[in-house]
Amino acid sequence: MPVAQSISDVDPSVFEGLQSEEDQICTVEATTPTGLEDVCAEEAQEKLGVKAHTSTGRAFFDVPISKLSEVLKLHSAENVNVVVHMQTSFPFTSIREDCFSALYSLVERPLWRKGMRAWQHVFEPLESDPFACDMPLCQAYQEPNPVLDLRLLKKGSPVALNLPDNIRQLREQHAQAYINDKTKCKKDAGLAEKTPPEDIEVQVTSSDCSSTVASASNKLSSGFGDESLINSLDGCKIVGHNSTTMLNSEDQLQCSTKTPGTIDTDSNGANAVLTNTTDDDHFRTHGHQSLKQAGQSSVEGNSHPNSFMTDAEVTSPPPRTTSRDNSSGPSFRVCCNRSGTEHVFGSPEAARQLGAALNDRFRWPVKLKDFLVEVILNIADNFVYVCLALTREPLYRRNLVCFGPTNLRATLCYALLHLAAPQPGDLVLDHMCGGASITIEGALCFPACYHVGGELHSKAVDRAATNLQHAELTRGVALPAGLLRWDATKIPFRDSCADVIVSDLPFGKRSGKKADNRSLYLLALQETARVTRPGTGRAVLLTHDRNSLIKNLAHVREYWRNPSVRTINIGGLHAGVFFLLRTAALYKKPSTLPRCYHSLGHGS
């Protein structure tokens, strides 16, 4: 099994698609399950006639833009991206500002026009030229916001340890405040379910309450902007404390102009949390009158020195910078995948710099949801490459409509079948099929074979039948596949009739227990040895419980040889793919049943 090289060992000069902006050859990145990169490379060679360079979890290859639709049909690819820039030895330093400046100026290097031609070939042509506006960059870098970007950063992570002391302390303070705020919001949400909305009260400091009320009162009494003020108010009951003015619940005063759910700190260090209420009808009826009365009472009776503020003193949110206005072109977002221990910035901070530079240069509008273009910034130590996503959802989300507790990705199913190399006319069995993921993928990718799946649980068989029926209805053809309900230790087939066994065995986590696997695996190996053809039969078995399978293979070495095992990553679990070859020995039923056979409830 070839070992995939590290991403930092990839040589950008070998890719023709990264050399020129004008030609019609683009460089594509196809992500794949870690440990199965060679399967993707072989499929690309077989179906596209291109040579792929593999790295951990991905394969890179050049392909004409006109063939991108065929790339999206690769069964082993999970996501497909067009690479617009790849750079080794990126100038990262231990100074945050220098890193931000380098990431911000990175926008000038990628082949954006070629990337957008590839993007429009896959999706739809844009109504206007996305590069109609191409402005020079006017600043060194975008001002960072570590309080926002790094609030979810783990305290002991390498980036957190590399941060300057002042940034680290500020981030930790606001991160803790963010966690406390989320916890309080969850508690308030639980309380709100039990308490009617009109009984919820929100406490604010006297200075916040009186200043907001006084400002609102001045606006209403002067006759300016009362409609806009009313429309901007978020419903919120307020009860003032530490003040001579008390606004009780009967006033139904709603005067929050701040964002609900945020924490505001006044000059005395007190916090005010503003939340929404739903009593809009009462406010429409009594809002103006209550607001005027509250404003007068706050002006006449409040003795707090900061209780009264003029309109000019009311804090308003800062205006948007002019460089972000008048945006045109496709909406986009930037996401960053970063790995390494020497970086002094986080992934959100890197994405902020590239996204701001794109907006400043091309005036593309930023849209984190329902965007058109997704820009992917990948950073591995000092290796950086930029892609445009050509898939809006992973390609492994296919075939299944009815899901069980464990479902194997379609890309992984194809890889297992590819390793088994079924030949035309072969009978392929999945004796523990679950939702029939492998059976359906095999019928679609290897239609010259017949695929049979079996499962013991009746609900699993029903799910598998639903998925198979959906696959046939979607494609309008009958698939060469069948489903049966059986016990994997008692397959109702005659001896030496199956050619290939491909199965995802119970891991002993979500499905089954490792204690049961020790006996189940042995009985299943013996039964598959009985039904497979001696000398030519083969099996590809996936499991996370390696120890149980390895120990039981020693008991059936007369029938099965294990020439190779590869490690793959499945959702963070390091599972093993065992490739087995059937020996020429004819199967003989054991004269005595193993002790573990009775532990599964078989026999007397």
457-502 pLDDT tens trace: 899 999 999 999 999 999 999 999 999 999 999 999 999 999 999 9
Whether 473 is covered by a domain: the verdict is yes
Count of structural domains, the chain = 3
The pTM score is: 0.74
Do 13 and 138 sit in the same domain of this protein? yes
DSSP 12-41: GGG-GGGT-SSSSEEEEEEE--TT-HHHHH
Do 472 and 526 sit in the same domain of this protein? yes
Do 35 and 85 sit in the same domain of this protein? yes
Whether 428 is covered by a domain: the verdict is yes
Whether 528 is covered by a domain: the verdict is yes
Do 354 and 459 sit in the same domain of this protein? no
Do 227 and 371 sit in the same domain of this protein? no
Q: Give the residue-averaged pLDDT of 441-463.
A: 95
- Rounded distance between C-alpha atoms, residue 587 and residue 294, angstroms: 92
For the chain, the average pLDDT equals 79
Residues facing residue 272 across a β-bridge: 264
Q: Mean pLDDT check: name the lowest of 96-105, 165-174, 207-216, 237-246.
A: 237-246
Do 233 and 115 sit in the same domain of this protein? no
Q: In sequence order, which ranges of 195-261 are alpha helices (DSSP H)?
A: 206-222, 226-232
The pLDDT tens digits of the residues spanning 528-546 come to 999 999 999 999 999 988 9
Integer CA distances (angstroms), 595 to 54, 278, 523, 558, 602, in order: 46, 67, 11, 19, 10
Whether 98 is covered by a domain: the verdict is yes
Question: What are the structure tokens assigned to 416, written together?
Answer: 């297992």
CA angle 108–114–118, rounded 5-degree value: 135
Confidence at residue 193, expressed as pLDDT on a 0 to 100 scale: 59
Asked which of 254, 284, 313 is the last residue of a domain, the reply is 313
User: To 10 degrees, the CA torsion angle through 208, 214, 215, 216?
Assistant: 100
Whether 345 is covered by a domain: the verdict is yes
Task: State the maximum Cα–Cα separation within the chain, in Å, rounded to a whole number.
Answer: 102
Tell me which residue range forms the domain holding 63: 7-144+328-389
Q: β-pairing, 450-455 with 427-430? A: parallel
Do 257 and 380 sit in the same domain of this protein? no
DSSP 528-547: HHHHBPTTT-EEEEEES-HH
Q: Phi and psi at residue 349, in whole multiples of 5°?
A: -70, -40
User: To 10 degrees, the CA torsion angle through 221, 227, 231, 236?
Assistant: 20
Distance of CA 60 to the CA centre of its chain: 21
Do 385 and 429 sit in the same domain of this protein? no
Q: Give the residue-averaged pLDDT of 205-214.
A: 44
Do 308 and 340 sit in the same domain of this protein? no
Q: Are 577 and 565 in contact (CB under 8 A)?
A: yes
Question: What are the structure tokens assigned to 556, written together?
Answer: 């059936």
Whether 442 is covered by a domain: the verdict is yes
Do 228 and 359 sit in the same domain of this protein? no
Do 27 and 124 sit in the same domain of this protein? yes
Task: Tell me the chain's radius of gyration from C-alpha atoms.
Answer: 32
Do 563 and 473 sit in the same domain of this protein? yes
* Residue 162: band (very low, low, confident or very high) from pLDDT cuts 50, 70, 90: confident
Question: What are the structure tokens assigned to 424, written together?
Answer: 């035309």
Instruction: Say which residue, 306 or 570, is predicted with more confidence.
Output: 570
- Rounded distance between C-alpha atoms, residue 125 and residue 134, angstroms: 19
Whether 290 is covered by a domain: the verdict is yes
Integer CA distances (angstroms), 561 to 539, 549, 564, in order: 10, 13, 9
- Rounded distance between C-alpha atoms, residue 233 and residue 258, angstroms: 8
- Could you tell me how many helices (H) and strands (E) the chain has, helices first? 17, 18
Asked which of 359, 389, 419 is the last residue of a domain, the reply is 389
Instruction: Evaluate if residue 279 carries a pLDDT over 70.
Output: no
